[in-house]
Chain A
Amino acid sequence: MSSERHRRASAIFLEACDLDPPERARFLDQACGADLELRREVEDLLAADADPPALLDAGALGLDLPGPSAAGESEEPAAGAGLPERIGGYCIVRRIGEGGMGAVYEAVQENPHRTVALKVIAPGNASAWHLRRFEHEAYLLGQLQHHR
């Protein structure tokens, strides 16, 4: 699906998701017309919306993570093993997850003091595109602090 079609599907989904079923069907007929692929995509999104994903419900991941004592210790038997103590201005608490790209840590940022999820890309996996995205993000976050 192209970027333009994704945006159309998102826009139609957002209009449709708060409508009652009969109204929704009429709206989808009109908005998607004979474009069955678009209709399928929107209906797929509506189905996913009806069965809300627990994963992203927490909003800010870092704010809703259970503490090390609350989490199942069995998952991470050696929480301290191979764990960096610090990365930049972040104090590493534990590893939340790991994949081919790198790892995600629960960390405490010093200033402002808050718990965050820190994504670390393994060396060699950081493509130029990824690095650009990260730089852009750092720039935007810097802008935000500037606004305050």
Chain B
Amino acid sequence: MPAAAQPDVDFLALDEAMTRLAALDEREARVVELRFFGGLSVEEIAAVLEVSKTTVEGDWRAARVWLARELRRGERS
């Protein structure tokens, strides 16, 4: 279960990365906001953004690794 330990999240870094992502791809950023912060399901996000579930899943996967990469870069520098 992922809830065993609270991930050590730098929310400021995450917020800044989200701002950069929104500038690059508004829809990817919206999918992350709605899913991660809003707690919506893939189906609900697809309905809100009026795109297919496949699109939401692709945006989520791509945005997630992009954010992870950005946060790791931040840790190293």
Contact = CB atoms under 8 A, between A and B. Distances in A.
A in complex with B: yes
Interface of A: 1-3, 6-7, 10, 13-14, 17, 44-45, 48-49, 52-66, 70-72, 96-101, 104, 114, 116-117, 119, 133, 137, 140-141, 143-144, 147
Interface in B14-30: 14-16, 22-25, 28, 30
B1 to A, nearest CB: 8
A54 B8 CA distance: 10
Contacts of A57: 2
A101 B62 contact: no
Contacts of B9: 55, 96-97
18 contacts: A3-B25, A10-B58, A10-B59, A10-B66, A13-B62, A14-B62, A48-B65, A53-B67, A54-B7, A55-B68, A56-B32, A56-B67, A66-B3, A71-B6, A99-B11, A119-B37, A137-B30, A144-B48
A76 B61 CA distance: 32
Interface of B: 2-7, 9-16, 22-25, 28, 30, 32-40, 44, 47-49, 58-59, 61-69, 71-72
Main SS class of interface, B: helix
